[in-house]
Amino acid sequence: MGQVTIYLDDETEKKMIANARVMKLSKSKWIAGVIQEKLVDQWPDTVRELAGSWGDFPSLDELRAEASTDTERETL
C-alpha cells in the first residue's frame, strides 16, 4: 500500500477533519474515499436511470428537423 503526504491549509484541514468525523472514518480513509470517487470512470446508476425520464423532451427527429444549415468554416 502506497503512502502520500499532502499539505492542507488550516481551513481545509478543519473541514476535512469534521467531515471524516461525521462519517466515522480516519482522515486517511476519508481522503482515500475522495480520491476513489474522482477516479470513477462511469456514470453513477442514478444518472444512467435518468435516461428517458423527460416525457416532453423532443425526439432526435424533432431536434434534427429544426436544425439550420451549418456556417461555412474557414480553411486552415
pLDDT tens for each residue of 6-38? 999 999 999 999 999 999 999 999 999 999 988
pLDDT confidence bin for 68, thresholds 50/70/90: confident
Three-state secondary-structure class, residue 73: coil
Task: For the full predicted model, state whether its pTM sits above 0.75.
Answer: no
Whole-number Å distance between alpha carbons of 20 and 14 = 10
* Residue 76 predicted with pLDDT over 90: no
Report the C-alpha gap between 54 and 16 in whole angstroms: 37
Report the pLDDT value the prediction gives residue 64, as an integer from 0 to 100.
82
What pLDDT shows up at residue 57? Answer: 82
Mean predicted lDDT score pLDDT of the chain: 89
